Amino acid sequence: VLSCSCLPDLREEDDPPCTAENKQLIERQCNVLKSDKFKVCHSLVNPDDFIEICIYDMCQYDGMKSALCDIVQVYVDTCKNHGIIIKWRNSTFCPLPCPSRSHYKDCVSACPSTCSDIFASSLCEKTEECTEGCECDDNYVLSNGNCVPLSSCGCRDDDNNYYEVSSLQSKSLTSKLV
């Protein structure tokens, strides 16, 4: 005769460690996923599980806003995988921090203009695929990961070799440059 018995479940409760008033505030914040901005995706991706994870994580990390932004980003990415694009960030809700002389855009080119290729973004193969990110301000381009004034960029010679401003100052290349 076989006899099986179950051991008691000694795991801690899965309730998030929140005070009652803190939990209400956090639930309101996480319920943003039920708002009209995300409604276009609700029939394909149910927000309830994401809201539950959001509440748990925000309670776990004492209301840390980045936990909210992270779970909203995961929801938006999941929607994107189903073909639904949602523009959701703005300057007050989960703004994406951008370096100086740049700004957030919900759709940036995969080929940003740089000092060595100023026309990259206009010559880049145009696709509907874009991603949110930071874009250099007007009259600035990327150089080594930073947005610099166009006037700080070097130039190219007849053989299309690029020379940075610093190398131009240390070498006498002006006769070769266009």
Last residue of a domain, one of 50, 82, 114: 82
**Number of folded domains that form the chain:** 2
Per-residue pLDDT of the chain (178 residues; tens, 9 = 90+): 555 556 665 545 566 678 888 889 999 999 999 999 999 999 999 999 999 999 999 999 988 999 999 999 999 999 999 999 898 988 789 988 888 999 988 778 778 888 887 777 776 766 556 678 889 999 999 888 889 998 888 777 788 777 776 655 545 544 444 4
Domain shared by 128 and 65, yes or no = no
Q: Count of CB atoms within 10 A of residue 18's CB? A: 19
Domain shared by 172 and 110, yes or no = yes
Domain shared by 49 and 106, yes or no = no
Domain shared by 121 and 65, yes or no = no
Q: What is the pTM of this model?
A: 0.65
Domain assignment of residue 87, yes or no: no
**Do 141 and 154 form a contact (C-beta atoms < 8 A)?**
no
Domain assignment of residue 54, yes or no: yes
Work out the angle at residue 14's Cα, subtended by the Cα atoms of residues 11 and 16, and round it to the nearest 5 degrees: 135
Domain assignment of residue 92, yes or no: no
Supply φ then ψ for residue 146, to 5 degrees: -115, 150
Give the separation between CA 150 and CA 147, rounded to whole angstroms.
9
Closest by CA position to 132, among listed 78, 71, 75, 90: 90
Domain shared by 69 and 123, yes or no = no
In the block, residue with structure tokens 């943003």: 32
Domain shared by 75 and 28, yes or no = yes
**Do 86 and 79 form a contact (C-beta atoms < 8 A)?**
yes
Look up the domain containing 155 and give its range. Answer: 102-177
